[in-house]
Amino acid sequence: MESKVGWRWVFFLVGLVLVAFACSDATNKTLSPTGTPGRTITPVASTPRPTSTPTNTPVPVGGTTGWPAYSDPDGVFRFRYPPGWLLRTAGQGSPPGIVAIGLQNIVLYNFDNLAQPPSHEFPPNSIKIDIYFGPVDDETADQTCKRPQEAVAFSLGGVAGWQYEYESDEPGIDHIRIVAADRNNYRLCFVALFFGDDATKLTVDQILGSVAFVS
């Protein structure tokens, strides 16, 4: 009888040891985020999305930096024109052409207009730009640079103006472009006459783009 009781105590003590060992082993195990025992998962750093770097818009070839500048005598506007071009003012021997009535007039040439006999006809690949300016209320201003009904809107020196282009029937002139704007009762008008070479049209765009009203 006593031996049976002794064995029962032995079995009881052995069971307690096994239960304690099992609990200790379960406590020491690490569960991963997925619930798998015994494994530790190291988080992987996320790769940032590539960001686009803004690129600067290329500066158009052939800007007006370094070009000669003209300012009118009244200090109202200024513009730049290409080196090598000739600027003629009143009384400097301009050949026959559009004659200013009322408004002041200067002329730009990409050729030497005085190196040949006066003529309406231009040499090949040439351009002449008549520039008129003065008070709009002059009774003859519209005769100098009148706005036709076919004209379209155009910004000249940041001022709302107009433009008109047409093919010319005049001998030696292929194309004519007129750009003008009125500001504070003052008119500024460019009349470009072309003979061949579309490249000169880009140059006129650059001249017009350099116009600025300063007062």
**pLDDT tens by residue, 145-164:** 888 889 999 999 999 999 99
SS3 content of the chain, % helix, strand, coil (to 5): 20, 30, 50
The pLDDT of residue 68 is 95
pTM of the model: 0.65
Query: Could you tell me if 162 and 191 are in contact, meaning their C-beta atoms sit under 8 angstroms apart?
Result: no
pLDDT above 70 for 139: no
Q: What is the dihedral of CA 117, 200, 160, 104, to 10 degrees?
A: -20
Q: Is the pLDDT higher at 92 or at 100? A: 92
133 Cβ partners below 8 Å, 6+ apart? Answer: 72, 76, 77, 103, 104, 186, 187, 188, 189
Residue 195, CA distances (Å) to 77, 114, 127 in order: 28, 17, 6
Indicate the domain borders of the chain. 1-38, 69-213
Sign of the alpha-carbon torsion through 133, 152, 67, 172: negative
Distance, in Å, from the CA atom of 113 to the CA atom of 131, rounded to the nearest integer, reads 16
Query: Could you tell me if 87 and 105 are in contact, meaning their C-beta atoms sit under 8 angstroms apart?
Result: no
The pLDDT of residue 57 is 29
The pLDDT of residue 116 is 65
pLDDT (mean) for 99-115: 77
CATH classification for the domain delimited by 69-213, as one of 3.40.50.300, 2.60.40.10, 2.60.120.1690, 1.10.357.10: 2.60.120.1690
The pLDDT of residue 90 is 66
The pLDDT of residue 215 is 80
Residue 88 phi, psi dihedral angles, 5° rounding: -110, 135
